[in-house]
Amino acid sequence: DAGITQSPRHKVTETGTPVTLRCHQTENHRYMYWYRQDPGHGLRLIHYSYGVKDTDKGEVSDGYSVSRSKTEDFLLTLESATSSQTSVYFCAISESTVTNSPLHFGNGTRLTVT
Amino acid sequence: QQQVKQSPQSLIVQKGGISIINCAYENTAFDYFPWYQQFPGKGPALLIAIRPDVSEKKEGRFTISFNKSAKQFSLHIMDSQPGDSATYFCAASPAYNTDKLIFGTGTRLQVFP
């Protein structure tokens, strides 16, 4: 496995509470991504980063924010969690955005919002 | 135009059989088509990928077939094994913008002995 650690692996939280998910990489890759995986929707990009302090929105960014203060860490924050944000969240990394640099995924965080 | 449509949603195959998963896209700017394999409790991992300069790419028992005119591509798993039981995702993006990768909805493959 590529050196990607997601924490926590599981979390249950209540509607309206803030939640932060962490992705830590040891590969020194420039690009980092947050995806959510839901049945019937596959993997959808939330936000991505192309360098320290450089981030951009993905397909489903509403209700989420991200920060990247160090190359190795990419944080995903749900400011006020809603039940529709119950999902499995995957972090991914890549060295570049050309085809010989595939995405490497972490093992996911299962988030349940009650 | 950004969608990648994947079928079937689930697939049951007997050991030794051929598993076929199909994907279709609309965006003619897409020219990179990877397949990812995901086991339960794990993240997806790249299995095989194709560019449209070839119509077929084979790696071991896994083959991608690509039909540019129909804007379709498919994954064939020959001699399917129980260890191939996993969820498979197709994806597509422009070749130099894989940060814009769009995934299909996934196919859950079960291979029975």
CA distance B95 to A100: 9
**Does residue A88 register a pLDDT over 60?**
yes
Q: Could you give the percent of chain A with pLDDT greater than 90? A: 90
Residue B3's identity, in one-letter code, is: Q
Nearest residue to A40 (alpha-carbon basis) of B105, B11, B103: B105
Q: What is the pLDDT of residue B103?
A: 96
Q: List the single residue in A with minimal CA-CA distance to B9.
A: A40
The reply to whether residue A33 touches residue B99, judged by beta carbons under 8 angstroms, is: yes
The reply to whether residue B46 touches residue A92, judged by beta carbons under 8 angstroms, is: no
Asked if residue B39 lies in contact with residue B86, where contact means CB atoms within 8 angstroms, the answer is yes
Assess B57–A contact: CB distance below 8 Å, yes or no: no
Determine the distance in angstroms separating the CA of B55 from the nearest CA of chain A, rounded to an integer. Answer: 17
Q: List the single residue in B with minimal CA-CA distance to A103.
A: B46
**Does residue B1 register a pLDDT over 90?**
no
- Going from the N-terminus, what domains does chain B have, and what CATH number goes with each? 4-112 (2.60.40.10)
Which CATH number characterizes residue A19's domain?
A: 2.60.40.10
**Does residue B21 register a pLDDT over 60?**
yes
The residue segments making up the domain with residue A78 are 4-113
The reply to whether residue A99 touches residue B43, judged by beta carbons under 8 angstroms, is: no
Assess B29–A contact: CB distance below 8 Å, yes or no: no
**Does residue A20 register a pLDDT over 70?**
yes
Looking at beta carbons, which residues of chain A come within 8 Å of B6?
42
Indicate the number of domains in chain A.
1
CA A41 to chain centre: 16
**Does residue B41 register a pLDDT over 90?**
yes
Determine the distance in angstroms separating the CA of B8 from the nearest CA of chain A, rounded to an integer. Answer: 11
CA distance B91 to B27: 12
**Does residue B2 register a pLDDT over 80?**
no
Over residues A25-70, the pLDDT tens digits come to 999 999 999 999 999 899 999 999 999 999 999 999 999 999 999 9
Measured between alpha carbons, how far is residue A82 from residues A6, A7, A18, B38, B67 in Å?
21, 20, 10, 27, 42
Mutation to test the A interface, candidates B25, B32, B103, most A Cβ within 10 Å: B103
Q: Phi then psi for B82, rounded to 5 degrees?
A: -55, -30
Other C-beta atoms lying within 10 Å of the C-beta of residue A96: 14
Q: What is the pLDDT of residue A70?
A: 96
Q: What is the pLDDT of residue A112?
A: 98
Q: What is the pLDDT of residue B37?
A: 98
**Does residue B24 register a pLDDT over 90?**
yes
**Does residue B77 register a pLDDT over 60?**
yes
Binned at pLDDT 50, 70 and 90, residue B96 comes out as confident
Burial track A104-113 (b if 16+ CB lie within 10 A, e otherwise) = bbbebbebeb
